[in-house]
Structure 1
Amino acid sequence: MEKVFRHKTVMQAWKAVKPWLIFITLFLVLRYSGILAGISYLTGNVIMRTGVMDASPKEVAVTKKFNYNFSIKDLAGNAIHADQFKGKTVFLNIWATWCGPCRLEMPSIQKLYQQVDTEKIVFIMLSVDRPQDLNKVKNYIGEKEFTFPVYTPADYLPNQLQVKTIPTTFIISPDGKIVSNETGATNFDTPEFKAFLEALVLQ
């Protein structure tokens, strides 16, 4: 009798926990993996609305100096040295067209871009697609009607930007320090994150 009671208790507990385990598993796959690239936009938008993917505008415990010693190219092929971004707050996002989580967070980045002073807050949407896939990048940005500036590496990237996971976003302060970073699909369209960026401008 006691064994039967225990079994029923375990089964009831499992039924209560199971939906949350499924939700958490789906959340992790969406945020950090491209496995669900084909369906992640619709499914991910539902999860985005829950707030679990909201950016956490907290400065990193130990800030590091950002290495500006590299160049990037805009989609027209014009080379730009990162030195020109010194003295400004920088939102640097590393992404690729084949990355489902990258595509999932892009609408929130577009909304953020439209709400801030882009003269003081620089956006660098750095695509790490293969050079031969440049047209794919252009077509994707055009189809989605994104207006933030998109770049590709002009040559090598410093070790700081050779990340193991994309999307990865770095926030660089005007004095050249990496003050925050986010890994995985993130909702940047929040009042808190906007205020975080604007506070950096005033430093």
Structure 2
Amino acid sequence: MKKALIAAIVAVALIGFSAYTLSNSDSSDSKINSSVSTTNDINSTAKNSNSNQTVEASPNNIKTKAIDFKLKDLSGNELSLSDLKGKKVFLNFWATWCPPCKAEMPEIEKLYQETKDSDLVIIAVEIGEPLDTVKPFIENNKYNFKVLLDPDQSVATKYSISSIPTSYFIDEEGNIVSKHVGGMNIDQMKAYIKTLDK
């Protein structure tokens, strides 16, 4: 009888401890993800580029300082995020093996062609692949926006990247205003860029 009672108490204690651990794990994960920025995604359903409906986005309520980093581009030149202070930045994390990233790239190129003479800087940070994989991919597709290499994924880790593509929209003071996880079309990108003016 005593053994059965002790076994029941131990079982209840183990279940309670497991539930506590899981709930703390979930809340710490959400704290980590929200510490970079709180996301306000597209307000209206994503529309095709050829749709007549307007796509709108809202900036986050709390601006978060973007974490500075220094990475090399495809020519070996170093670029720091802090070098771009005073400009708006569309910061995109991607990889050549990622189908949604590859689908999004032509839209980023269209945006680049439309905005290359403006104060917007587009930076695509390629995660985890070597130069000899990334450079031919960019050249073969004739992409002209700035591509930086994050071979050890240190910058992706700083930005808590858990899935790609993920994009951050950074204002002229270096604050993250909005974040979008997943692929976008050019209308969605433009809607997020407009939030940098507010």
Distance 2:108 2:156 in 1: 24
Partner AA of 1:194 in structure 2: K
Equivalences, count: 149
Query: What's the CA shift string for 1:124-170, capped at 9, x where partnerless?
Result: 1100033xx32111111111111111111387327542300110000
Distance 2:167 2:99 in 1: 15
Instruction: Among all aligned residue pairs of Structure 1 and Structure 2, give the percentage whose two residues are the same amino acid.
Output: 34
What is the CA distance between 1:186 and its match in structure 2? 1.2
**138-147 or 154-163, which moves further after superposition?**
154-163
- Aligned ranges for residues 1-203 of structure 1 at < 5 Å? 56-68=56-68, 70-130=69-129, 133-153=130-150, 156-157=154-155, 159-187=157-185, 189-190=186-187, 193-194=189-190, 197=193, 200=196
Partner AA of 1:164 in structure 2: S
Distance 1:154 1:99, change over 3 A: closer
Distance 1:73 1:50 in 2: 36
Distance 2:180 2:139 in 1: 25
State whether residues 169 and 179 of structure 2, in contact with CA within 8 Å, keep that contact through their aligned partners in structure 1: yes
Distance 2:86 2:170 in 1: 10
Structure 1 residue ranges (4+ consecutive) displaced by more than 6 angstroms after TM superposition: none
What is the CA distance between 1:64 and its match in structure 2? 1.0
State whether residues 171 and 180 of structure 1, in contact with CA within 8 Å, keep that contact through their aligned partners in structure 2: yes
Distance 2:123 2:172 in 1: 15
What is the CA distance between 1:195 and its match in structure 2? 6.0
Structure exhibiting the larger radius of gyration computed from Cα positions: 2
Give the unaligned 5+ runs of structure 1: 1-46
